[in-house]
Amino acid sequence: MSVNKQDQKQSILSRIGNAFGDKLATFLNKPRDSYTTFSTLSIEQLNESLLPGDLLLIEGDSRISTAIKYLTQSTWSHVCIYIGDKPNMLPLLEADLVDGVCTVPLEKYAGFNMRICRPFGLTKNDNEALLAFVTSRIGMQYDTKNIIDLMRYLLPTPPVPLHFRRRLLEFGSGDPTKAICSTLIAQAFQSIRYPILPLKIQEDKLTETAELPARGFSRLKPKIFTNSRLEKKHYSHFIPRDFDLSPYFEIVKPTLKKGFNYKDIQWVDQNQDDTRQSHAK
């Protein structure tokens, strides 16, 4: 077979694969009927609380969200980054299954369960570099390499051992023109050397001595310190849950910022309690 015929064959297979992938992505992106809310935030609360560089973890309601939540054993199936007010851009940036890397309004996730994660102590320069990294990826396709694998785990009892679930979401196609939501954001933070869930590598042991009192006289007791460094995990190993688990991201709760008082809550059965208290008196 000539080179031209091989190229034509690959081109035809590529077009068929892309067409199938587009239809599959549209199917998986459709919302399910049942969705329970527990921590919804209003658009006003988000506007007042979010800062550029903040992450918004989302519990999605789509078919693929259900698979991701099962495989990662987590509430969170999607992550966006808040880029703020930028010319010709909407405030949230994400890697969407259908639209690829794009910006969307906050209203897209109105009524969804979500959590705000904030990187702690970012310098102005690093924050600008972080936002520049993600905005430069706008227009990239979503990496759909693992969608076929995910489909089989949409069943009520997916036949997947626990220790294999996470690896199903690791290692995308490796194509630099494609992205996954958590992978893109992990790459962005690693580009400025901000930790997410790094590995601790122990190195040389350093020994010092300390003078301690013992029965009226002093003695020297050795103290051993372990010198360790942090090593980055590959960016394709990250899932939305990792930003919630990371000790380097602050959890921001808008409902508590303005002075929460649990005594102000009006409960459904409050009238019954008030009646009982009045009778008791």
pTM of the model: 0.70
Q: What's the confidence (pLDDT) of residue 138?
A: 95
| Cα-based distances in Å from 42 to 15, 20, 106, 128, 195 | 42, 37, 10, 27, 30
Read off the pLDDT band of 126 (50, 70, 90): very high
| Overall average pLDDT of the 140-154 stretch | 62
Q: What's the confidence (pLDDT) of residue 175?
A: 60
Letter string b/e over residues 43-75, b meaning 16 or more CB atoms within 10 A of that residue's CB = eebbeebbebbbbbbbbbbbbbbbbbbbbbebb
- Spatial distance between the Cα atoms of 72 and 275, rounded to a whole number of angstroms: 47
Q: What's the confidence (pLDDT) of residue 174?
A: 57
Instruction: Please determine, for residue 74, whether its predicted confidence score (pLDDT) is greater than 80.
Output: no
Residue 193 backbone zone (phi > 0: left; psi -120 to 50: alpha; other: beta): left
Written as six digits, the tokens of 134 are 């993600």
- Spatial distance between the Cα atoms of 183 and 166, rounded to a whole number of angstroms: 14
